[in-house]
Amino acid sequence: MANKRILAIALIICFGISMSISIPIAILSAYFLPFNIISETCKFEYKPYNSSAIEELNLIVDVGNIQIQYITSPVDYYAMIEVNFDMVGYSLFGKNSLYYFSLPDNKSFTKTFIMERKSDTDWFDTSKWIKQDVDIIVTVNANILYNINAIINEEGNVEMNVPGGVKINDLSVNINDGDALLDFSYCTIEGKVTGNVINGDIELKINNVVYTRDNVLNLSSDSGIILFDILQTKKMGLNISGRGITNTGAIKVKYRDDSPDIGATFIFYNFTGKFEGGGVNIVNSWSGFNDPNPLDLPYLGYIFTSKDFPSESNYKISLFFKHPQSNSQYCTINLTSF
């Protein structure tokens, strides 16, 4: 009799334990069951039939993060594009990347890679998504000179890193909603660099770049932050001009050179806002530069000129505020010239 009672108690305990485990599992399963994962990778290669002195590479996507990198080891392609889809959302059962995007039909492309978002999907319905990562890794043959044009029609970011020893011709980046980072270090720029972001930030980093002609560096952002970050300790041999334009955003400048053969001028047009940390009196740091002079009418603003300007080679960057009455505009100035 006692054994039966013990057995009954044991069964009750086991039942209670199993219920305490199974009920949360059932609840969690019911909660997560509608969600599914799309994890795919697609690769495409660019191998032109006839080579040119300067190759064209056009990247046109609706959404996604484009990362452009260079490979110096020998490869048999001009460029390789790897698209990684990492998506988690509601009711993705039976769907794949082709449900949401149009991709090239085969594993190769010509000079233009296009990835369009299909308009009849629920891509922008945030209530149905946990994760929507689309990463586009572009690996470029460093032995080939390119004109590169990257366009993001809807939303996404562009990051480009050009290392030492690499040559690049014209670069153009256009983003509707997102950020851009253009990083050039000990490389050679033989063309123009143009970056335009409607809604987002854009950063240009120049670290001891060599120029082969009087290049132009143009950046614009409607409402974000524009950053010119220039370090030049080696001779350029040429004069470089640049321009930054914003509507209601901000402009930041970091500049340093360690040579009396390099000079710089930064001109802020239509600027009636405040220098960050300043007020009426400008308190941002600059050494090796003359005190800023106010611009004559019809423009308002300031001009910063290095004490060794003009030199053997010079940077001249013009910065424009379209609407100087906006209170959201500000500048950060950090200039050093020797």
Q: Identify the pLDDT of residue 12.
A: 45
Inside any domain, residue 192:
no
Task: Please tell me the distance from the alpha carbon of residue 41 to that of residue 44, in angstroms, as a whole number.
Answer: 10
Q: Identify the pLDDT of residue 106.
A: 80
End-to-end Cα separation, the chain, in angstroms: 99
Inside any domain, residue 293:
yes
Inside any domain, residue 130:
no
Q: Which residues contact 296 (CB under 8 A, 6 or more apart)?
A: none
Residue 318 amino acid letter:
S
Q: Identify the pLDDT of residue 60.
A: 98
Inside any domain, residue 322:
yes
Task: Provide the sign of the torsion angle of the four alpha carbons 18, 24, 27, 31, taken in this order.
Answer: negative
Whether the model pTM is above 0.85: yes
What's the length of the chain? 338
Inside any domain, residue 226:
yes
How many C-beta atoms lie closer than 10 Å to residue 231's C-beta? 17
Inside any domain, residue 336:
yes
Contact 59, 151 (CB under 8 A): yes
Contact 277, 254 (CB under 8 A): no
Closest CA to 85 of 125, 140, 131: 131
Strand 79-90 and strand 129-141: the pairing is antiparallel
Contact 153, 62 (CB under 8 A): yes
Inside any domain, residue 139:
no
Domain range enclosing 270: 211-338
Beta bridge partners of 139: 69, 80
- Average pLDDT along the chain, 338 residues, taken 10 residues at a time: 49 46 44 75 92 94 98 94 95 90 88 93 90 97 96 98 96 98 97 97 97 92 96 91 93 94 94 65 76 82 94 95 69 90
Q: Which residues contact 206 (CB under 8 A, 6 or more apart)?
A: 184, 217, 228, 229, 230, 231, 232
Locate 212 and state its tokens.
Answer: 């082969």
Contact 334, 304 (CB under 8 A): no
Domain count, the chain: 1
Locate 298 and state its tokens.
Answer: 């019809």
Inside any domain, residue 2:
no
